[in-house]
Structure 1
Amino acid sequence: MKWSAKPIVHKGEKRIGVYFEKNTELIARIKQIEDARWSQQKTVWHIPDTEENRIRFKITPLSQTIPSEEAQVQIEKFKQWMRSKRYSKSTIVTYCEALKSFLLFYREKAIAAITNEDVIIYNNDYILKNNLSASYQNQIVNAIKLYFKTIQDTKIEVDKIPRPKRAKVLPNVLSKEEIKLILNAHNNLKHKMMLSMIYSCGLRSGELLALQPVHIDSKRNIVLLKNSKGKKDRIAPLSPKILEMLREYYTICKPTTYLFEGQTKGQPYDSRSLQLILKQALTKVNIKKPVTLHWLRHSYATHLLESGTDLRYIQELLGHNSSKTTEIYTHVSTKSIQQIKSPFDDL
């Protein structure tokens, strides 16, 4: 049974990701480890990043992953600077871990002596050698650039730090028929309501869980999304059908602080439980695709585009900074492609 393990950061928390092909015996063994969890988002089992677990999975012990005293001071300065600029907690953790990885690689070298050439060597001898992803490399580059631009005065020329080419990955989209099956899979009103809200308004899961009853404006048929990604507020339209479902839900469930609360009144619904709701829906309707909650948002955008909604409006509805981010949906829309006649038909 082949498996691999490596340290990861999941939702701002240091964890160890354990990777293996689906195997009931390994899953059972992982579950026996305290606080072992499955991440639908990263599709990996993960456990606490402790000395014991590192030894168990043959990862370099924490005692050997401590950067130099100078590096520790600089990482703390970087952290405080990001806090003062109100960077999100998860971004601060991710960037500090990325910078730590880089400075650990040059543990014996003074930070002021680090050059652009050292960044290239790190990319080749650490990231590529360990088959780490381009997205991880981008995180490292982002952290290095920000740190050397704001905190450290060195020989590095920030604008010349090489960045890997991004893979052009298309968003995953479900058909309207598949969406309908998923949204109708649950009899539980709250479960059905949460999945329906994500699709009908194109929400990120975090945006859904942060919603409060006061954010629903039934007179204007809109939902106010406060402090979304990038610390921006935006509004999304509420369909009459969703508004009707919300009224029924509110009457029965009587939410207080948050629109969707867990077992404890006044506390938001748990994100892992929300992922489980989707997983259960997929099982019920026998959809085998590795659907995530974000697929519902992608599907909302694509279905809007296919129904003739202007890209500029979709960009506003999704809260994208750049129109280029929204334009990716033109590559998965099948409206025009389906009208193209294959030359095979004329043979």
Structure 2
Amino acid sequence: MLGAAAVVASQLLVMPLVNAAGHDPEDGEKHSHEQDQAQVQQQFNDYVAKLKQEALAAGYQQQTLDLAFADVEYYQRAVELDKNQPEFKLTLDTYLPRAVPEWKADKALEKYREHQQLLEKIGAEYGVQPRFIVALWGIETNFGSFTGGFKVVSALTTLAFDGRREAFFKKQLWEALTIIEEGHIKPEQMKGSWAGAMGQTQFMPSSFMSYAVDYDGDGKKDIWNSYGDVFASAANYLKSVGWRDDVTWGRQVQLPENFDTTLADLDVKKSLDEWQALGITRMDGSALPNRNDIKASVVIPDDKEGRVYLAYANYDALMRWNRSHYFVAAVGYLSDRIRFPR
């Protein structure tokens, strides 16, 4: 049988704590949180009003601003994701099977064949092998099936308002307003990632303005819905950053035990013959192609015990798209699976 003190203690475990006035402290916290939210919302509304005035002064039409900001909202989730981007403790050997599972390799080949005529036409015009267009499409948005559900204007406005990278996100917001004003997409259809990357190519608005293509000739650069515009925009980007259609992206290689790892740098370029002379071989131990005209860099994404690549000019071009060795390796690997299906 419990004593009186024990009974009181057990009741405290199940009864809500109250302060001297008989109020639940959690009510106070909730009220304070709601006040904070209301304050942030008011500050955000004031910021939007200021942005509109700046945009008008910059020459944007009132109608554009009315449409673009009609249902603008503060995305707390975008701020959280921007501040806490995950750091994955993976190696390339564990990452690649996740980024390019068998079903994705199969789907890439299926999509390649489905759009082969269009892809080959665009590939020939821009000097980009079609398999790389499909690989980028697959890695970025799972062939257009996942392009993000954030309203781009709201996401960019939120991140500009947050202030940590205001200049960058405000620039992207102005570009987004230009895209709307030029009639490429309606604001309510302008969806993308939490950071404002848009469409099946996941272009930021500034990349859209620089590289997006109206390939189907309908007057709109539609990277959301038009396969021609999607593929040509990706190809145009690659062509603009130095893509070559006479070489691949790179190859996995073996290093000699005494290899000087200070040479593993994208800024260090040597011919395949020169790398061969330093002891680098194909994965099966055989000699590299006898090519003096192809320059390459050694890339070690993890360490010498993991995957090592000879990176060609197209590796550098893919790094311009996304400065991640893991991203480039995934795109390259998927492109190889299209080229050499199992």
TM over 0.5: no
Hey, which of these two has a bigger chunk of strand by percent? 1
TM-score by structure 1 length? 0.28
TM-score by structure 2 length? 0.28
